[in-house]
Structure 1
Amino acid sequence: MGQGDERGPYANEMRPYAAVFVARVTARNRLPLDYSVASLRVVDFMVDGLRKGGADRKRMSGTLLALGAYVGEVLVRRAGAVWVDFDAEQRAYFGQSVGVRMPDGRVWNPLGKVFNRFELGGPEDSLQLFYLTLHGRARGTAGVTS
């Protein structure tokens, strides 16, 4: 990923980054990463497996970033979101350089959500629930952004 500075990835890199990750993972493991909402449950299981396997965040950061790109791309393809580069204030708040803007104007942090799932792993950190909450089909944690 072109990271010309320490800022992190750029919004225009996220779609191809997710596509390369999906091609690599599905070729080896035949995982159903088809950009569907249901596939986010697979991402939950993948992140849980990494955590339970004892991997540390630093060593897994590339994989977690790729999973975050995939989650964001599901939001783009299924919920009408667009990738955006965060401004300095948003980068400080979210701890990431990119996120997605939903059609209603709200900005969300799918990369951070994946890292949270890895670190915390509670049911409230489900990536499928994250999608459903953002898309308005589930209630309870609306407004939680990372």
Structure 2
Amino acid sequence: MTTVTSGSTTPQQTRPAVAAKPVRWAADAVATMREGARLRLDHSAQSLWRVDRVITGIRDEGAPYAAVETVLRGLGAYAGEVIVRETGGEWWTTGGDHWVRTPDGRLWDPIDEARRCYTGDGSLRLLCRDATGPG
């Protein structure tokens, strides 16, 4: 959605309000990884290799899910932001869950995929590959 702000002659991109929470969660995850793990995340599809490895490391340390739930939510939201930026998609919400809808109409759940990574059943890198590939 493009709007023109008051006193401005150039259009400015705005994001739907539904994106506010996952965008904030993703930003928090980027800051946490930068400060705590000295890991720079640049919102590229390639960076999701590192995110998958971080989640594997957390799982291998035996951290209980309750202790890492917020981190996983943030890393999933980060992956969602990568998909949004790579595809031109947008965040959707229903029943408190946040999804990414790609321009081809498909829905993706990167936050749940991060949880699945933690259990050894998922991959944010592969989710992004699937979301950005042909539908």
Task: Give the TM-score normalised by the residue count of structure 2.
Answer: 0.79
Structure 1: state its 5+ residue gaps. 1-9, 89-95
- 1:132 matched residue in structure 2: 129
Instruction: Give the conservation status (yes or no) of the 8 Å contact 1:101–1:108.
Output: yes
Instruction: Tell me the number of residue pairs that the alignment of Structure 1 and Structure 2 aligns.
Output: 118
Q: Which runs of 4+ in 1 moved over 6 A?
A: none
Q: Say yes or no: does 1:81 pair with 2:89.
A: yes
Q: Say yes or no: does 1:28 pair with 2:36.
A: yes
- Paired residue type of 2:130: T
Structure 2: state its 5+ residue gaps. 1-17
Summarize deviations over 1:90-126 as a string: whole Å, max 9, x none: xxxxxx611110111111100000000101x25xx22
Note the C-alpha offset of 1:76: 1.0
Instruction: Give the conservation status (yes or no) of the 8 Å contact 2:26–2:78.
Output: yes
Alignment identity in percent?
Answer: 36
Note the C-alpha offset of 1:21: 2.1
Note the C-alpha offset of 1:28: 3.3
Note the C-alpha offset of 1:14: 1.1
Q: Distance in 2 between matches of 1:29 and 1:107?
A: 31
Task: Give the TM-score normalised by the residue count of structure 1.
Answer: 0.74
- Paired residue type of 1:133: D
